[in-house]
Structure 1
Amino acid sequence: MVSSKITAVFSLVAFAVIHSLTASLPFKRLVMRVAGPRAETLYLPAYSLIAVLTILPLVYQLYKNPGRVLYKIPSPWRWLMVGGQLIAGMLAPMAFRDAPHRFKIRSQLSSPRASEADSLKIRGVYRWVRDPFLLSGLVMIWLTPFMTVNLFLIYVLTTIYFYLGSLHWETRLVAQFGDEYREYRKRVHRIIPGLRGSVKESSQPPVNI
């Protein structure tokens, strides 16, 4: 039904707006002014909770109105796809573990030469792919072993949102790390691991938050 597609798209747009707003630098500046130093420890859990709560209406809409079934992958291939989803699901926490300094609010709000700035510190999965979060998200949604009309529409729009978000995130990383990130970007591909090559792991210890 057309109404179910409209409702699902509206839920996705509402999530994207809230998600983008809470991830924006102006919002983070506001959080820093209100919460002070506690923002570094409080922001990520609060942001994650908001993301989960705002995606639930979309999940509910797709559950209630999945639309016409386009395909269902039979066994054993479906289990291979689920296995790929599980592996991709582990990539995101690994990516955060390997680069916590990228998510420090003070560093994001600083220029590369500011005293609060960190160096890029390439390690772990970032040696092979620039945006492991984008890779993880795309693999998890497109390896779904069944597909409906509404789900396909949402996945296409989500893919576009993920990619545009990745472009915006890289613009922010250039502002945060300057020439370090520009050189890194020349050597490592955004999504496909090892397409351009890899870089040596940084010898500097990781910065924890």
Structure 2
Amino acid sequence: MFARLLILFYAATSYAVFLVSFVWALGFVGNYDLLASKTIDIGAPSDPVDAVVINGLLLGLFAIQHSVMARPGFKRVWMRIIPKAAERSTYVLLSSLILLLLFWQWRPIPAPVWHVQGAAAVLLTGIQWLGWLIALASTYMIDHFDLFGLRQALSAMRGAQPPAQPFKTPLLYRLVRHPLMLGFLLAFWATPVMSLGHLLFAALSTGYILVGLWLEERDLVAQFGEAYQRYRRRVPMLLPRLIGGRQSSEADGEISEVR
């Protein structure tokens, strides 16, 4: 019982650290100093070359940790060391801590790339917040608490195994296969003030997202087989079709079958 309580406390702590990193991300990317004392363009000045190197290393550290720990092969080895119920919470905790390190040590490069005002600025700010909303909502459309390790810890507390997550395509997942990543891309790129530092962050993050999705798609095909292959043929990865695609009753039947 003590071990189960410890895992539950660990999961709750990991989730709390994630919440801190998420709020800081809102302020960091949007340059809202009310949410974060240090943002993507607000901080101590530094040499531009040093800033590019340090920022690139910080983003690379996050990309490596985030991708390697998500691979099934790594998980199998990792769970020989830590309890299975704590695996996801550990992933969330390390990802959040590296994000906090990135925000803390980020070197601004404030030279402007574009700076728009008026209605265009309002529109871009609205798109940015829409991106954050899409990203957060996407986690609830699948299973927010499973994604962040809380469901696994609660199941362990009851002495049960967490239920296997079925493959499902609710709401936004009928429009694109990865609405969570679409939300991040909107949040990163839609800004009325694009600095060189922000451009570096957005460009490297986009590159990582594309590579990460390629790896994740391989894992999903291996896990769900032909069901995911059909889904992948029917639904675009990131950009929704503006004109109706293959939305036939046969396609809807395939989704129901996958569920």
Q: Shorter-chain TM-score category?
A: 0.7 to 0.9
- Match of 2:238, SS state, is coil
What whole-Å deviation, never above 9, does each CA across 1:18-55 have from its counterpart, x for those lacking one?
A: 222222223322343344452xxx34443233222212
Which of 86, 93, 97 does residue 129 from structure 2 map onto?
86
Q: Which amino acid aligns with 1:176?
A: Q
In 2: Cα distance, 1:104 partner to 1:55 partner: 15
- How large is the Cα RMSD of the aligned pairs? 3.0
In 2: Cα distance, 1:200 partner to 1:94 partner: 22
* TM-aligned CA deviation for residue 104 of structure 1: 10
Q: Which amino acid aligns with 1:200?
A: D
Matched with 1:17 is 64
Mean CA deviation greater in 19-28 or 116-125: 116-125
Q: Which amino acid aligns with 2:124?
A: M
**Does 2:256 align with 1:200?**
no
Matched with 1:151 is 198
Q: Is the 8 A contact 2:189 2:202 kept in 1?
A: yes
* TM-aligned CA deviation for residue 117 of structure 1: 6.5
**Does 2:125 align with 1:46?**
no
Q: Is the 8 A contact 2:124 2:192 kept in 1?
A: yes
Q: Is the 8 A contact 2:127 2:186 kept in 1?
A: yes
- Match of 2:113, SS state, is strand
- Match of 1:23, SS state, is coil
Q: How many residues align?
A: 192
Which of 70, 76, 81 does residue 119 from structure 2 map onto?
76
Q: Which amino acid aligns with 2:93?
A: L
Unaligned stretches of 5+ in structure 2?
Answer: 1-47, 150-162
Matched with 1:108 is none
Matched with 2:142 is 99
Q: Which amino acid aligns with 1:82?
A: T
Residues 45, 87 of structure 1: alpha-carbon distance in 2 compared, 3 angstrom cutoff: farther
Q: Is the 8 A contact 1:19 1:51 kept in 2?
A: yes
In 2: Cα distance, 1:176 partner to 1:197 partner: 24
Mean CA deviation greater in 122-131 or 92-101: 92-101
* TM-aligned CA deviation for residue 84 of structure 1: 1.4
- Match of 1:200, SS state, is helix
Residues 104, 158 of structure 1: alpha-carbon distance in 2 compared, 3 angstrom cutoff: closer
Runs of 4+ in structure 1 deviating by more than 6 angstroms, as ranges, are none
Map of 1:132-171 to 2, 5 A cutoff? 132-171=179-218
Q: Is the 8 A contact 1:117 1:176 kept in 2?
A: no
Larger radius of gyration: 2
TM-score of the superposed pair, with normalisation by structure 1: 0.77
TM-score of the superposed pair, with normalisation by structure 2: 0.64
Mean CA deviation greater in 135-144 or 89-98: 89-98
Q: Is the 8 A contact 1:119 1:177 kept in 2?
A: no
Q: Is the 8 A contact 1:122 1:200 kept in 2?
A: no
Mean CA deviation greater in 133-142 or 149-158: 149-158
In 1: Cα distance, 2:135 partner to 2:207 partner: 19
- Match of 1:74, SS state, is coil
Residues 11, 36 of structure 1: alpha-carbon distance in 2 compared, 3 angstrom cutoff: closer
* TM-aligned CA deviation for residue 175 of structure 1: 0.5
What whole-Å deviation, never above 9, does each CA across 1:125-168 have from its counterpart, x for those lacking one?
A: 11111111221111110002211122212221211110111111
Unaligned stretches of 5+ in structure 1?
Answer: 106-115
